Structure 1
Amino acid sequence: MKVEKQSIQSSVRDGFGLTIPLLLLIPALLFSNQLYGILGENNYVTIHLMLEIFIIIASFTIAIQAWLIFPYILSNHRLYIGALFLSVGLLTLIHTLSYKGMPFFIKDSSAYSATWFYMIGRLTQTLGLLLILTSKPKKINFIQRRITYSLAWLYTFVWVFLIYSPYELLPHLLIEGVGTTPLKNGLQYVAIMLQCLILLSLWRNFHKDRRQNTVIIMASVYLIIGDVMFTAYQSVYDIKNFMGHFFQLSGFYFLMRTFYSASVERPFQSLIETQKQLEKSEENLHYMAYHDELTKLPNSRFLTEKLSKELSVPKTKKAILMIEIDRLKSINESLGHSFIDLMLQEVATRLRTSLPPDLFISQIGRGEFTIVLHSVEDHEDVVQICKQIQKGMKEPFQLQHFLLNITLNIGIAVYPKHGTNQEALLKHAQVAMHEAQKATERYVFYHPKMGQQLIERLVLEQDLHYALDNGEIYLEYQPQINLRTGSIDSVEALVRWQHPEKGLISPAAFIPIAEETGLIVPIGEWILETACRQVKQWHNEGISHIGVAVNLSTGQFFQQNLVGMVEDILARTDLPPHYLELEITESMTVDTNHMADILHDLKQLGVKIAVDDFGTGYSSMYYLKKFPIDCLKIDRSFVRNVQSDHHDDVLISMMISMAKHLELKVVAEGVEEIGQLSFLADCDIIQGYLFSRPIDPEELSANFDTIQKKALSITQLKEVV
């Protein structure tokens, strides 16, 4: 596009620069008699020689350009045009040498030979150009270059032989003192007609190459005007003869410009433009190689080079901040990649805007960022930066129609205390970042003990791969008491891991590992089938009314075959679906479309749906109306302080009231003291250590009646309390 624009601008400049011949045409026509011989009769030979030399140069220039360029393009049009103008140039050269007044060349100069050489050259140029422009362009062999140019030489020598024959084989075209003959004018009109046909051909194909066709049309117009002038002059001293040569020169100049532009100028401009595009592409490639495409932040490669330069100044104390988005995997499973992309972009934007511009911020992984502090005085400087980061993330993220609160975990490694090379600093900052998940402030400085903790976690992860096959995973069940009747209506299945060496491992320690590694899917399927099989066994033992609640993790919920898996387990264990309650968390409800489809499919099976840890999530309450939910479980964090914290009392009352209006069952978990019951009087189900700790199925079977009596007595006391 840029090359085409430059070509058009060049054409406009040529048009303005060569309007002078057209301006000279007016006085030449109006005052031809007065201007006869005005340039001096002795000067006309010199003037004619100068004009013809320029025409010869233009013709040979076109021929040479075509000769040199042909091997690279192998175009029949370009080759034939070169050969054509070689003949035209040779004929014009001989015409110039034989012009009246010129020195001896083969024979004495005369109007006879000069006029015929001009006329043959003119007809050759017009007819040849017409045939070339109307022929079909194609690729030809390299060897045809010599053959075609040789034919051009041969063609010229044939006319030299005919015109310089001892006998005048051709009639005269110019009679001294009288002017041009009818034959001369007729041939000149033939040239005009051929030139008009060229104009017509150019006009019909104008859209194919506007630049080239425009200039050839301008050349044709000047050549036609020149032909008209040559039909009207009486002698070589006539101003019309001079104007004819002048317009002919103008036409040849345009032709030369056309083929120069097509052969040299435009390819050269294209080359320059290509070079610029390559340079720009190299810059873009360099930028892409050193920046993250999504957030536009420097990437890990850029960070490596930056740290190498930073650490080359060893006397300066520096700090590396490694940052991760907390619970990114769960959010990704809930919302999907497109939402995560929006979130990463917003996090990157807030980091840039909330921190000083001289800090180096990079993204080294999906959801992981690194900040290089060039110079720090003490730990407090780093802490202030961490607080600035957290302040920048304080406002909820508006991602389409979701409003999310994002927490960042920040690990800090200080140079040279925590490492003297970039590998050590980045590794230690990453270790600290994982530890920051457990810290209240969510930022932690590296400590050597953390490395050992990370190793222990990796070992635990490895052992978890074999825990299920080795029978180390088992279930305990905690009774759920109907507050109205005091009966044990159901139990919640709780997973446990008895490590052969480390003893009992808390679910809080191994469930996140199972989520990250994908082991939660087979473990979750085993939990569900084991719980259903156990409840069916209790039914067979006479405890026929009891149901079971099983937690679904985020990883399980977003597996493709969840509904089919639940249906198969119910069929294998022969457990009626209404005895199974599946517990989901609020974080899963963000992706409403996916959640609605899955929950409705599960409800079609006949199972119940409960929302666990209600009140601790970050999603909209809209799902309570949209989803087929049967039960809300109030999180133990509200129940724990309900007697001492008025706010928790109010929040629980609001939750219960809302659930009742939506006709949902309410379960309060974590009930440990009888005094808490008065605040939970409107709940349907109570679960906690007040009634029973989680116990293994054999113990529950053996002590079912005892636990039932205890629950009945406690629920009867609630009114007194």
Structure 2
Amino acid sequence: MRQEEKKTIHAAITGAVLFLLIQIFRTPLGNIEDKDLLSALYLIIGCCNVAFGFAIFAQGWLFFANRLSQARLYTSALFLGVCIFDFLHTLSFVGIPAISSYINAEQSLWLLTFSRLTSAVGILFIFGRGDKPVAAAGKNKVFRTSSVLIVGALALFIFGDMVANRMSGYSQVEGLQHVMNLAVLFIYLLAVGIIVYPGKTEKSASFLIIIRSLIFFSLGQVFLMNLLSVGEMDYLFGMLSSGAAYYLLLKGVYRLTIEEPFQENEEAEARINYLAYHDDLTGLPNRRRLMQSVEEMLLQGERDKSRGFTALVIMNINHFKNINDSLGHYAGDLLLQLVAKRIGNEAKANEELYSMGADEFAFLMTDRTGVENCLIRAGELLRLFDTPVQLESGEYHISLSLGMSIYPGDGDTAEQLIQNADTAVHNAKDQGVEIRRYIPAMQMKAKERLKLENDLRRALERDEFYLVYQPQVQLETEEIVGMEALLRWDHPKRGLVSPVDFIPIAEESGLIVPIGEWVLKTACRQNKMWQNAGYRPICVSINLSMRQFLQPNLAGKIGVILQDIGLDPCYVDLEITESMTLDKETAFDQLNRLKRLGVFISIDDFGTGYSSLHYLKNMPIDRLKIDRSFVSEVLEDSNNAAIVSTITSMAHHLKLKVTAEGVENQEQLQFLRQQHCHEGQGYLFSKPIKAAEFETFFLKPSLGMPS
């Protein structure tokens, strides 16, 4: 049994025992003759109750304005009215002259009855149904509703007072008051039952605290309607029980509407982070996490030149496909888990194992004394599999091929080190050897990169770039709702150069800024031409690079371009990546300037970059684009399916659109529809095609176009 459940049971038992003890010692308690002392105690407890009631109001209405919910707002408004009733009752009951001259003792007790009735009905209404978030503008609606209810309760009290006077005093309606007190007790107990019963599921700690507050409210009500006789001590203990109930309700509402949603958000963020950076089968960190680790290592190496060598080993299981095909996928998965466990158990300080997907693993070794030391350690990893692996169908001898890249020397970036180690392991398998270290002869990248950069510098002036367009489709209707403009390079000698090869070079060299501006102008001009030709207007998505995004005058440049072309900004969607939001202040300022133009903002490749979700709620973002790496294996990899489902659900709650990239088959489309993903793009609908083809196959005449 959980601690909060024990506390709730203890609260109920304590309340019952307290009531019985007070009844046992009623006579000596009733003989206390110091009325001034009792009045002082009553005044202190009553003022504490009023303070707790106002605290409930202040907590829900004035504080944590970014976490508004129906339960918070209605509870705060309710207890503003309740603390007004309690304040008037307390002052009049103890005989404060300024109040008691207008409200006598009998009227004061009716005020208390109305206060308890209001709180009981309000709590039943608020916590007897589900809670929902409320926008800041929703406070006005709650305020109006609550004001009407508070005024109505006051009017009801005044009307009751008039009826009592007509009946020659309150003595004629004592029976009615007793019935109302009994009804209040019933409503408190009914609220406990309604909160406890639904679904018979385990209740959160906050609901259990609210149940405890209702128990103390009920106990206070029992004191006020004691059948033996109600004396001043009963009123005192009743108010004391109510004070405990107010405090518990204050604590429960805070946890229910502020603390628990915050914890749920943190847990969701942690889950997305874990799913994005860990392999589902082995539980090991995955390729994305390896990339981060190597990048961090490179940064440390730049700061501290005295650090030792770092070796990245890519390991591939030989003939794994044969094992998978002959023994089945279950045995293949078990083998991967056993291999991961055997290597992981042998990892030492400054060593970490990663899953690269399929039958590949990466082993990162830092602070090594020399290259020879790295090779020796790689040999030790191979010897781990001198003993066979035990599967359910028997023992099997397996072997590994290892490829190694070493820093410094075999690469200056994380991508280079990983790629070079991967090149080395495939060379080892081709050559039939166990270990190969990367050497430049395997792949002459540096020379090739320099030549490519020189050609890239002349490509813009030689008009070698062109754009292709890939349609963005509304998944429910499969209607074209937008398009993404993608850059292509037609090299005069090499032919088509992949963006994977030239975009990183353009980024590093700074050429991406003029190239990006050309893409923006060309895409916007083409979109305006289609609109002028009478086609139905659709939005064009354009990628911004990091260097472009960091330009202080970016919004001004884009504004001038759109004005010159005459394209409405609502037909432009600028795509940024998560890494661009690392500097929150700069990103927030830049995005706000862009939004003021009237363009849309999307987060591209969502889930593969910066892990914090903080920017989603604070920055002016319209859409999330789920990275194709998650979508491509969404049916085979439960991890990727969970990521897509979590991102889509979170986006819906944040009122963001969701576009899935890399949709390639009907099964993926059906899964995305089930997750209520808004839009998709991918080869299922069309590969990226040139403007003329896009116009022919996808553009439709505007409804206003003459026939």
Normalising by structure 2, we get a TM-score of: 0.47
Bigger CA radius of gyration: 1
Normalising by structure 1, we get a TM-score of: 0.47
